[in-house]
Amino acid sequence: MLHDMKIRSIEVLPCYPKSNYVKITTESGLVGWGEPVVEGRARATAQAVEEVAPQLIGKNAGDIEDNFNILYRGNFYKGGAVLNSAISGIEQALWDIKGKHFGVPVYDLLGGAAKAKQKVYAWIHGSTPEAMADSAQRRLAQGYKNIKMNVTNEMEWISGHERIEAASALLGAVRDRVGDKLEIGVDFHGRVHKTVARQLMREIEQYNILFVEEPVLPYNEEDLLDLRRSSSIPIATGERLYTRWDFKKIFRLGAVDIIQPDLSHAGGLWEVRKISAMAEAYDIAVAPHCPLGVIAFAACLHHDLATPNAFIQEQVIDVHTTADGGALGQQPGGSSSGGGNRPPAAVEMYLKENTGVYTFEDGFVLKPQSPGLGIEVDEEKLREDALKTDMPTWSHPVWRMDDGTVTEW
């Protein structure tokens, strides 16, 4: 058994336009896939994977706790987005191998499924209230029960009421169109400074908001206490926190209702399962952040199915690939995007047939049964594109205020 899972090689390949895939191969030929990336810093993360990979060659892929500690504790300098994301993608691939070795889905190795299906939400977009309402109506028609939206663009340190009213108008248009048939999460994206965040949260309370995400930047967590006192909207944060040690500060603060660790950033599947168990002890819900590809989504889904307090899952595989925002795989109500029963073209080109396909039902994704993470990558296509020099890549935009100062995207 040890020889069967002994790591022979670790290789990272770009997954255009935004991500990386890491391939880990054992001496027996078992292959596991993970998704290590920092959005906008894919190349730096790939380099970090290549730098730490030699530490695991010859190790047992199934010893996931020890392998994590080799990569995390075995380095004097710990933490940070790039290093932790490199570790996260490698760790996902190790779980994929272990599940395939034993012929079971990864959630079975995490204590077994705690539920039969996982609630998901989809994004809506629009630059005008009417366009945002149209997007919400499409999601409702697709069978979703939960959506999320941005309501702000560039924000001053202190903003006039015009921007607050514009944000409120977007939400008002959605509520007018779909009523209470959709639960709405709102992402402030860390764009809003504490004084304006307080004003904005009070203004949008009238729309029965499911949660407000990153009302302030993650390292201004002390401001969350004030926001919680001034508004009844549940507060969510955590996509830019790494490992249980960052989240420990949030739990002690006692100012959030939902944490949002990212399984491609926070340390991987097992590390986020530990974070979620800590959250459960503090009576805090979990909604993993997932703005990435199908492997990251698969890791999230297996985590969620084994985690009682994982109440909802972000899925945005479609968000940058289809004009009408079609969802991943089989659609609620029988419709689909990208053709047939498969993900949209920009994602599906790196998947083999009949993998990474999930059944959506009434706002949930049903429990998959395939071993490992259930993903088989079209490696030939992935390698073919990796050699090209004209493939599109993604980076963060730089936003400036009217006076020229750089502001949060």
Q: Which residues are registered as beta bridge partners of 20? A: 14
> What dihedral do alpha carbons 133, 120, 408, 131 form, nearest 10°?
-10
CA distance 385 to 18: 13
Query: Could you count the other beta carbons within 10 Å of the beta carbon of residue 345?
Result: 12
Phi-psi region of 202 (alpha: psi -120 to 50; beta: other; left: phi over 0): alpha
CB 71 within 8 A of CB 87: yes
Contacts of 310 (CB under 8 A, 6+ apart): 118, 276, 285, 286, 287, 288, 303, 304
- Tokens linked to 231: 């508004």
CA distance 218 to 194: 12
Per-residue exposure over 381-390, b if at least 16 CB sit within 10 Å of its own CB, e if not: ebeebeeeee
CB 65 within 8 A of CB 48: no
Tell which residue, 299, 409, 382, 292, has the closest CA to residue 45.
292
Identity (one letter) of the amino acid at 106? Answer: V
Tell which residue, 324, 326, 327, has the closest CA to residue 313.
327
Contacts of 89 (CB under 8 A, 6+ apart): 12, 20, 21, 22, 34, 35, 36, 37, 45, 49, 264, 268
List residues with catalytic annotation: 189, 289
CA distance 274 to 27: 30
Decide: residue 35, CB within 10 A, 0-12 exposed, 13-18 middle, 19+ buried: buried
